[in-house]
Amino acid sequence: PRIIVGDGEPVAIEGAEGATTPRLSSDGTKLAFVRGGELFAMPATGGEAQQLTSGAEDGFTNGLADFIAQEEFGQSDGFWWSPDGSRIAFVEVDARHIPDYPIVHQGQDALDTEHHRYPFAGAPNARVRLGVVAAAGGEPVWMDLGDEDDIYLPRVVWRPDGMLAGVVLNRAQTELHLHLFDPETGAVTRTLVERGEPWLNLGDFRFLETGELLWSSERTGFRHLELYDRDLNESRRLTSGEWVVTRIVEVDEERRTVFFSGTREGAVERHLYRVGLDGGEVERLTSEPGVHGCAVSPDGATFVDTFSSREHAAVTTLRRTDGGNVLATLFEEPEMTATGQGLRAPELRVMAAADGTPMFGAVYRPEGEGPHPLVVSVYGGPHAQRVLDDWALTVDLRAQYLAQAGFAVLAVDNRGSANRGLAFEAHLHRRMGTVEVDDQVAAVEQLVAEGLADPERVGIYGWSYGGYMTCLCLMRAPEVFHVGVSGAPVVDWDGYDTGYTERYMSTPQDNAEGYREGAVTTHVEGLAGKLLLVHGMVDENVHFRHTARLITALTAAQKPYDIQIFPEERHMPRDAAGLEYMERRLLSYFEEHLLG
């Protein structure tokens, strides 16, 4: 690949061939990139690239984020330019001690094998160091990350004054240290410590030009904003209540105002709000019920609002922050409404979890009076929310297709799902695969009780965590669920990665009973209905090994099953032929076993 830059006609940069993750310095004069596992820098106009690091080999890299940082913490970068462009902070990742996990392409004419260093729950993680090197070259300075080397480094950012900040998270993900480092010496100058039970979820933060820190925390049980002084000693709470700040959108430092999105109007909506950095009332800036995705101008005077609901597709407008007046409509398709597209918008429901906790659901009704065969569309895992008052819920075309074929369709965010506060999510602590199933059963029983669903004709489908839930619902509640399509299921949590699994379940060594009870293979004797397994054989996220282990257990228990393999697909089919084939297979499976 070539790197192409330019503020006018793009120009290919000579000397950067084979580069990945290119990043320009803030003044645009220098370019840094990774090649062959090493960090390089060069003039942005081209020329000779200077290698800044050394020692790279198989399993050992400089300037690339480690697998868990990318996969579970959303940290795709592995190096960061200083504000003045004189230095680059970078991560050194040593994964040489993590066993190689081969993935064989068995659907190709030629033999091809991928090699992944995958850290399984309870097994060693990669070791990381944080260094700073001059853009002109020289020996790196290593930041003091503490004595414990079994850590995560999920966030690195430069403060505007040239201090370097890094978030160090312990492996149990219950204690977080935000360190300020002197990049000249690597010494820690200030530390903000946050502890949380049963775990800490990472949130947004931002350093201001004043050196103050805008921080988001769940220490009250709901994610809210706080402002720390430049020494990280004193803090002021800016928002509060039983709702969640979902994202810091923009900070207008001149007017001392922060703009953010949140759920104050309800968990199924998203709105734009603002509040003063020195305190005051929270002001809502968007009015229409639904989901608003916003971007605010740097001066805080205007914002772009992309808004949708279950009734109509996204409309994008330019608005004033003061008064909300529409300055321009940037995008709108008036015919893109539920009725205009011949679709029935799903009904939003407040349903009762197995313990009576309110949870949100969406119901897609077919034509005619009930009771109808019911298909549950499930995810059910943490760190995710499916039921929102937005257009995406209406144009879930699989659900619409099933409804038009005569099925009622239900989606519900059970206990353990996101954006309802930490206590709601923490119901599955050390016991994944339990309360989520109970809540899906409770939701189905409510639709049966009101006459919408036929209790003898209930199916379920889902992917990834939803595939896991599909299997467990069929096995732990066979009297409720009769047919299931399980895509790329996690089958045993000891076969998934450290960062995700241990956050919720601890390690297999510490929580053997939780892992045993949460394993699909533990419950195969309960399978009485029809099960279709779907999995791509080169899935590098949830390995095909999970489905293979389940097949072994089903065979040992003499339980029948059906299977659809995609030899050259990953976590789900991506090409048009594979997608169409999968959708046809799913629909026909439910038609055969619930309508036939």
Catalytic residues, by residue number, are: 464, 539, 571
Beta bridge partners, 262, equal 245, 271
The DSSP annotation for 163-212 comes to: -EEEEEEETTSSEEEEEEE-TTT--EEEEEEEE-SS------EEE-TTS-
Question: Between β-strands 271-276 and 164-170, what pairing exists: parallel, antiparallel or unpaired?
Answer: unpaired
Q: Which two tokens stand for residue 424?
A: 């709601």
Cis? peptide before 371, omega within 30° of 0:
yes
Report DSSP state, residue 120. Answer: B
295 and 375 Cβ atoms separated by less than 8 Å: no
CA 88 from chain centre, in angstroms, equals: 28
Total Cβ atoms within 10 A of residue 563: 14
Long-range CB contacts for residues 243-250, cutoff 8 Å, separation at least 24: 243/267, 244/419, 244/420, 244/421, 245/203, 245/204, 245/216, 246/270, 246/419, 247/204, 248/204, 248/205, 248/206, 248/214, 248/216, 249/294, 249/295, 249/296, 250/295, 250/296, 250/297, 250/298, 250/300
Q: Which two tokens stand for residue 369?
A: 């009076």
CA 267 from chain centre, in angstroms, equals: 18
Largest CA distance in the chain: 75
